[in-house]
Every structure is written in structure tokens, then in C-alpha cells.
Amino acid sequence: MSAHLHDDPHAPIEENPEEPDYFDVLQTAIRELLVEKGLIGAGEVRAMIETLDAHAPALGSALVARAWSDPDFKERLLADGTAAIEEFGIDNYDGTELIVLEQTPDTHNLVVCTLCSCYPRPVLGLPPDWYKSRPYRTRAVREPRALLAEFGTTVPEDVTIRVHDSNANMRYLVLPMRPPGTEDWTEEQLAELATRDTMIGVTTARTP
Ligand code: FE
């Protein structure tokens, strides 16, 4: 391997998708060691990557569309998110507890992991880079209203913002408010409005 190791690991890493960066090399080295020592099998690594790739925001969008269309399902989703996503056919592969938070006219929920990058991966796939960034993790707690404004989301002063800090065992998913004027929309149409960012709480669902 033409190891592209930097002398200084804190030096900025140039973005060249052709060349492995510092973390690619580190990741490969650790994975090869774990396999060599017999702690994990190469097939397990492949299967896990396949699982990760199979989970994407489209699952969450379909879930929200179902909740918007079926009040009984919505009730079950809010009462026990983990059981409801399994009922919906989503493999809760990481065994975490899922708590679903309903946006209301009075309360705007926002999800963060202040420590690292905990995220409802079974429902939304891998988190976006900004979610893992230090500015997002700190500002979500310190000044959520200003942070949301930068996402183009103006939360009125009389609406309470609740920030939910995810952790290794507990993950949060936001159930956005169903936009008005969508009463006779199909679940497929509704799913288009339930974007990834609405389920993190950085934006709200809107009709186009
Ligand atoms: Fe985390």
C-alpha cells in the first residue's frame, strides 16, 4: 500500500478520493489486525458494511409517511419507537432504543450527539458530516435557535426548543408535523416531504 501517512496526524488532510488518507490507513490496519488475530472474520466486516449500506433516509421517510397516514401506527411509534420500527419492517440492527419525538406547534425538537456521532442509523443510515462536526455538537446545546436559523429554520420565540442528546444506547428520531394541504396525499407522496433533515429536527416538512 502506498501509505499516505502524514508525519503530523493533525496536519490538514488534502481531499483526494484516489489516495487513502490517515484515517483510511488507520482503519485498514486495525481491521486487518482484528481479522489476523481471529477476533472478527472478514465475512463479518463485509456483512456489516452491507447492512450499513442498506439503511438510508428513505426508510425513515416511509416510516413518517405511515405515521402521518395511520393514527394508530403513529400512537404506537410515539409510545415505543423500537417496537414500531420493527413492526414496520426496519431491522434495528444495532440494538439501540429508539425514541420518537413529535414536533408540535408548541415544541420544536432537535437531535444531537454532543459526545460523538450517535444517530438513529437503523432508520436514517449514516449521519451527515455536519452532524458529527464540533460546531453542530456544541451549538445545538448552547444556541439552538441561532443554529437552526442557519439551516433556514426560523423557530418563533413562543415555540420551545428541546434538544435531545443521543448516546450509545438511546437514539432519537423526530416526527415532523404533517404539512397542511396534504390531506389526500398518498404515502409515497408524503414520504417525499419527510426528508432526512426533518427527522433530525434541523428543518421542518413543507409542501413544495
Ligand atoms: Fe455519539
Name the active-site residue from 2, 61, 69, 118.
118
In tens, the pLDDT along 89-128 reads 999 999 999 999 999 999 999 999 999 999 999 999 999 9
Q: Which pLDDT score is estimated for 179? A: 97
117 belongs to the catalytic site = yes
89 and 70 within one domain: yes
Name the domain boundary from 54, 78, 98: 54
> d(Cα 4, Cα 99) in Å, to the nearest integer?
42
Q: In this structure, which amino acid lies at residue 208?
A: P
Q: Pick the last residue of a domain from 54, 80, 102.
A: 54
**pTM (two decimals):** 0.84
Give residue-wise pLDDT tens across range 41-86.
889 989 988 998 889 999 999 999 999 999 999 999 999 999 999 9
Mean pLDDT in residue range 131-136? 96
Task: Mark whether 190 and 124 lie in a shared domain.
Answer: yes
Please indicate, yes or no, whether residues 192 and 92 belong to a single structural domain of this protein: yes
Residue 207 lies in a domain: no
- Cα(183)–Cα(161) distance, rounded to whole angstroms? 27
What would the grid cell of residue 96 be?
A: 439501540
**Cβ 1 vs Cβ 20: under 8 Å:** yes
- Identify the pLDDT of residue 17: 62
**What's residue 169's pLDDT?**
92
pLDDT at residue 9 tops 60: no
Is 118 an annotated catalytic residue?
yes
Please give the residue that has the higher pLDDT: either 6 or 18.
18
117 Cα–ligand 1 center, Å: 4
Indicate whether 47 and 134 sit together in one domain.
Answer: no
Give the domain range for residue 26: 18-54
14: helix, strand or coil: coil
**Based on the domain organization, do 122 and 46 belong to the same domain?**
no
Whether 118 and 50 map to the same domain: the answer is no
Q: How far is the CA of 115 from the centre of ligand 1 (A)?
A: 5
Q: Please tell me whether residues 33 and 110 are part of one structural domain.
A: no
116 is catalytic: yes
Give the number of domains in the chain. 2
Q: How far is the CA of 185 from the centre of ligand 1 (A)?
A: 36
Q: CATH no. for residue 184?
A: 3.90.330.10
| Cα separation values, 160 from 57, 77, 81, 105, 144, Å | 26, 22, 23, 9, 11
Considering the domain boundaries, does residue 7 fall inside one? no
Active site residue 61: no
**CA–CA dist 36, 48 (Å, integer):** 18
Question: Is residue 76 domain-shared with residue 147, that is, in the same domain?
Answer: yes
Q: What distance in angstroms lies between residue 144's CA and the mean position of ligand 1's atoms? A: 18
SS3 15: coil
Q: Give me the catalytic one of 69, 116, 133, 166.
A: 116
Residue-wise pLDDT tens digits, 152-202: 999 999 999 999 999 989 999 999 999 999 999 999 999 999 999 999 999
Q: Is the pLDDT of residue 1 over 60?
A: no
Residues 6+ apart with CB under 8 A from 69: 187, 190
Backbone angles phi, psi at 171, to 5 degrees: -120, 150
